[in-house]
Structure 1
C-alpha cells in the first residue's frame, strides 16, 4: 500500500513523454546542468552551489532553456530574501502554523494522473479563521513546493490544484491582503519551476467571485484560462480520475485527512532542513550592477509588476 506522504514518480512511458515536453535530452542534460552550476558559482549574490535534483527541476520548469532557467533561479533566490514571511520560521509546530493546519485538510496526492500530473487537494474545514490563516496557508504551500523540488527527482508533467472553499463567507474577505497575494503569485507564477495545468475551485460561491475578480489582474492569462469553478465535487471526474481523488472529493484514492496528517508529520522531519535553507537567498549588496528594488519587483507602490520570463 502506498504511504500517505509518498510522492510516486512517473512510469517509464510517461517519463519519456515528459522528457519530450520539457525538451530534456539525455545527451545534453549533464552539460546543461554543469552550465547552470558554473553560472551559479560566478554570481556573487547567489548561492555558490545547490543540489542537482532541484537544479534539474528548474531546468525542466524552464523547458531546458538555459537563459530562462537563470532568470527563474535568480528570481527564486531574490524572493526568498524579499519575502521572509514565506521563507523563514518554517516550522509546523509554531502556533500560527499549527492553528492553520488544524483548520484545513490538504496534501499533494501520492499517485499521479495517467499523463503524469500531480494533483494537490485542499479543503477549508473551519469557518473560524484568524488574521494569520492566509499567510500561514501560503507559507505551507511554498514549504510543500520546496519539499517536492527536492523529492520529485524525475519531475512530473505538471500540477493540478483542487480547492474546496465551502466554509468561506463575506466576513473572510477582511483576512485577505492583496500585497501578500501579489507576493505569493510572483513566487508560484515566475519563481518556482511549476507547470500549472489546472485549478479547480469546488463549492464555489459569490465570495469566491469577489476574490477572483480582485486577483484576476495579477494572474497570467494562460493560468486564468485554466481555472474552473464547480458547484460541487461531481464535476471533478471529468478532469481527474476517480481512483486518484480522495474520498472527501468523491473518489476512491484514500483519506485526505490521513494524507494531511502524514504530510504534517513529514514536514516536522524537515524542520532542521528548512532552518538551514533560510540562508539560501540572494544578497542584493553583492549583486553586480544595480541591486534589485523589492518595491519595484513586488509592486508595493500601487502597481503590480513581475519580472518577465518569456
Structure 2
C-alpha cells in the first residue's frame, strides 16, 4: 500500500492516478529511484546539527521533492527554510487548538473552503470569502495568516497536487475596507513562508470584486511575488467571472460550478482542523524548529538575512 493516501474524511481527494502522473513528471514514478531520493534526504536531515526534529514521514519528504520539481538539493533547502522560518517567525506557529483561540472571531467574518476535487490541471482550489456587513480590523489579517499556516500544515500532510488556485471573494463586502486592513509587512513575511518553506505553488490568485480599489491593491502587492506569480493575479468583476480563470464544474454554484457551497466547505474544514489528530500534528510540526547556536553563522547570513522582517528574536551567539 502506498504511504500517500487521501484523508479518510475525503475533505481532499486526488486518487492514485494523480499521484502517478505527478511522480512521473518529476521522475519519481520508479519505486527504487523514489526510495533512494527519500533516503538521501532522510540521511541529510540526520546530519543537520541545528535541526531539532530529525524524523519526517516519507510522504512529507516526497512532497518536498515534488514541490522542488524533483530536485533533492532544493528539497533540502525547502526543509531547512521551513524549520528556520518557524524559529524566525514564531508568532504564526503558536496555535494548535483553533476552537480555543482568537481565530474563532475572525472565522465568523467569512468562509474558508478547500474544494475537494482537483481541477483538470490537478490544481487545488482554495476559496476565501468575506461576509457582507462585517467589521474587519487590522488584527484580522494577522489572524488569517495564522490560519493559513494551520491549513498549510494540513495540506502538506494530506494533499497531493500540482499547485493552488486561490479565490479571494470580496464581492459582497467592501473591498476597500477589507484589503486596506492587510498588513503589508506581514504579507512580505508570509509569502516566502508559504512559497519557500511549505513549497506552495501558486497557480493563480483571483480576486472577486466590482470595486475599483482592487486595481491599486494588486499593483501594490505584485512586487511581493515573483514575476511569474504576479502575472497570475487576476480580477473577476462578477462571481461567475471566476469561470474565465477556473472553467470547472467542481466550483461551488455561486461561481458557475456544481460543487458544494463554500459555507459547507468551511464547516467541514474547521471541523477537521479542530480534531485531536490535527492538533497533535500541529504540535509536532511547530516543534520542528532550529537551534541556531549550532548552525554556521556564515551559512545563516548567506541564506536568510535578506528576508523581510525582524530577526530580533533569534540568538546566534
Interval of TM-score (by shorter of Structure 1 and Structure 2) = 0.7 to 0.9
- Taking the TM superposition and a 5 Å limit, the aligned residue runs for 1:48-67 are 48-67=54-73
Instruction: Give the one of 305, 308, 315 matched to 1:299.
Output: 308
1:228 matched residue in structure 2: 234
Measure how far apart 1:95 and its partner are: 4.4
2:121 matched residue in structure 1: 115
In 2, are the aligned partners of 1:81 and 1:281 still within 8 Å (CA)? Answer: yes
Query: Does residue 272 of structure 1 match 2:276?
Result: no
Query: Does residue 44 of structure 1 match 2:44?
Result: no
1:305 matched residue in structure 2: none
- Taking the TM superposition and a 5 Å limit, the aligned residue runs for 1:1-310 are 6-12=11-17, 14-26=18-30, 27-46=32-51, 47-126=53-132, 127-152=134-159, 155-166=160-171, 167-172=173-178, 175-269=181-275, 270-290=278-298, 292=300, 296-300=305-309
CA distance in 1, matches of 2:21, 2:138: 44
Aligned-partner SS, 2:254 = helix
Cα separation, partners in 2 of 1:170 and 1:160, compared to 1, 3 Å: closer
Measure how far apart 1:286 and its partner are: 1.5
CA distance in 2, matches of 1:34, 1:183: 31
Aligned-partner SS, 2:205 = strand
In 2, are the aligned partners of 1:5 and 1:262 still within 8 Å (CA)? Answer: no
CA distance in 1, matches of 2:297, 2:284: 28
Aligned-partner SS, 2:305 = helix
CA distance in 1, matches of 2:263, 2:127: 11
Please give the root-mean-square deviation of Cα atoms over the aligned residues, in Å. Answer: 2.3
Q: How many residues align?
A: 297
Measure how far apart 1:295 and its partner are: 8.1
CA distance in 2, matches of 1:173, 1:164: 11
Aligned-partner SS, 2:135 = coil
Gaps of 5+ in 1: 302-310
The normalised TM-score by structure 2 is 0.86
Aligned-partner SS, 1:93 = helix
In 1, are the aligned partners of 2:176 and 2:214 still within 8 Å (CA)? Answer: no
1:304 matched residue in structure 2: none
Measure how far apart 1:5 and its partner are: 5.8
Cα separation, partners in 2 of 1:200 and 1:95, compared to 1, 3 Å: same
Deviates most, 86-95 or 26-35: 86-95
Gaps of 5+ in 2: 1-6, 311-317
The normalised TM-score by structure 1 is 0.88
Measure how far apart 1:263 and its partner are: 0.8
CA distance in 2, matches of 1:279, 1:242: 39
